[in-house]
A and B are shown apart, each in its own frame.
Chain A
């Protein structure tokens, strides 16, 4: 029999998280700080709109690009948060989570051999999606001494005449790093000078703790070279609804919608009705959740300080990314032992790129009460290592 599998897919490494997931599942009594989604339920008024849409029989496909009223709300939202206007008919469309938009952006924009700059540590899907689109991923290793921000020099070092796209994954999973306006201005200069396009994954944009998130699309000359990707999962605690969106120049959106139309048809209708409510009346929920995340963030950083564990201060998302190099073992080994010995699951930094080696990702999408229990175990573990 012939090999049923294609070479391209075989060449892609499975997610490092998956491997760890299997071990955790087999560990009895384990508690986890390994989750990349909010612990809050979707606010009730949003769920209620979803239910109401079902009751009314809104159970059909929407247009390929998504409900017009939802696209209008997305347009309003970007306008009020970033001061940038997108045409809801031609420059915005609704996807199945931000992750679909990432995949489509690559597929619509690259040809074989085009290079894509991917800063790491970062979310696990950019590299495989770029490979599946026949692009060549070029990794930029972010550094703790820069607070895991991307610098113009780092981009310039990796740019070649084949480079077409720069991925901008901020606020960042797993580091929690954010890019402020001054940082983005430096990047924008290089992007324009080198004639690059940006895929800006801003799924954590509502979760920043040192002021409002600034999108690169708000900088002069960047709107026309950026695909802005966002969604409802993190801001409104709507991960299971699978809903995101992409905004960008009409010619790029048209091609992304073309693939979306053949592969997906349209994003889930119920979710779209719920999302309209989220954008119209969800600001208060978001700010309550943000406030609570911020308390937990401060709590964890204070604990690490007490433990003498070095950790740069992250200002975004819901992760802290402490450095464990002083224990002289790999992230994988550290996490495996922490799980075996104290039954606490955290994710090795190496799951988010080679340069995440020496770090661990701890999620604070858990109640303070649970974080306290987890920190007791964590402290016990590292004090054992130190003696």
Chain B
């Protein structure tokens, strides 16, 4: 029987896999797998099924930025309160609490440099608890979510070997 971890390892890379195929690969009963998937979803372990897209190949305008944010934590709430105020913006794709030189890492997706700059100036920097921001734009993605975007796998082995 495939463990939860095995199920997660597979669907993390291929969220489109069907329950039947999953059951073949793991040598487990189809119904069991279906139930396990349901449980994983219910428990919030599986939080969504996304698609990896290399937007740079589409010709559509997309800008990604990482913003280091220093904030003043609020009494009783720590960083959670301010994090929530930030992650509610739809253009924010990720928010992490960090150790080290700054507090929150905010990852943002926008259509243009101006749009991102506008967000930082008008929305982020003006929040009471935000002390400072440092914005970094992503110039090129080499690898994302474990997938190498710049190169195709090429099989260079001999065709037949003993």
The interface size of chain B toward A, counting residues with CB under 8 Å, comes to 16
A88-136 residues at the B interface, CB under 8 angstroms: 123-125
Given known A-B contacts A37-B157, A291-B6, A351 and B25 have beta carbons under 8 A apart: no
Q: Does B10 contact A (CB under 8 A)?
A: yes
Which residues of the other chain, B, contact A261 by a CB distance below 8 angstroms?
none
The interface size of chain A toward B, counting residues with CB under 8 Å, comes to 27
Are B155 and A21 neighbours in the complex by a CB distance under 8 Å?
A: no
B16-47 residues at the A interface, CB under 8 angstroms: 21, 24-27
Which residues of the other chain, B, contact A345 by a CB distance below 8 angstroms?
159-160
- Least Cβ–Cβ distance between A112 and chain B, in angstroms: 27
Stretch at the interface among A28-36, A192-200, A215-223: A28-36
Stretch at the interface among A137-145, A248-256, A269-277, A295-303: A295-303
Given known A-B contacts A295-B26, A298-B25, A299-B24, A35 and B10 have beta carbons under 8 A apart: no
In the complex, the number of residue pairs spanning A and B with C-beta atoms less than 8 Å apart equals 51
Given known A-B contacts A39-B155, A302-B24, A295 and B160 have beta carbons under 8 A apart: no
Which residues of the other chain, B, contact A302 by a CB distance below 8 angstroms?
24
Are B160 and A24 neighbours in the complex by a CB distance under 8 Å?
A: yes
Given known A-B contacts A298-B24, A298-B26, A25 and B9 have beta carbons under 8 A apart: no
State which of A25, A123, A173 has its C-beta within 8 Å of the C-beta of B159: A25
Given known A-B contacts A291-B9, A295-B25, A298-B27, A34 and B155 have beta carbons under 8 A apart: no
Are A34 and B161 neighbours in the complex by a CB distance under 8 Å?
A: yes
A296-355 residues at the B interface, CB under 8 angstroms: 298-299, 302, 345, 347, 351
| Residue-wise interface mask of B (150-162) relative to A, using a CB-CB cutoff of 8 A (1 in contact, 0 not) | 0001010111111
Interface residues of A (CB under 8 A from B): 15, 17, 20-21, 24-25, 30, 32, 34-37, 39, 123-125, 173, 291, 295, 298-299, 302, 345, 347, 351, 367-368
Closest 10 CB pairs of A and B: A34-B160, A295-B25, A21-B160, A36-B161, A302-B24, A32-B159, A124-B162, A17-B162, A24-B159, A298-B27
Interface residues of B (CB under 8 A from A): 6, 9-10, 21, 24-27, 153, 155, 157-162
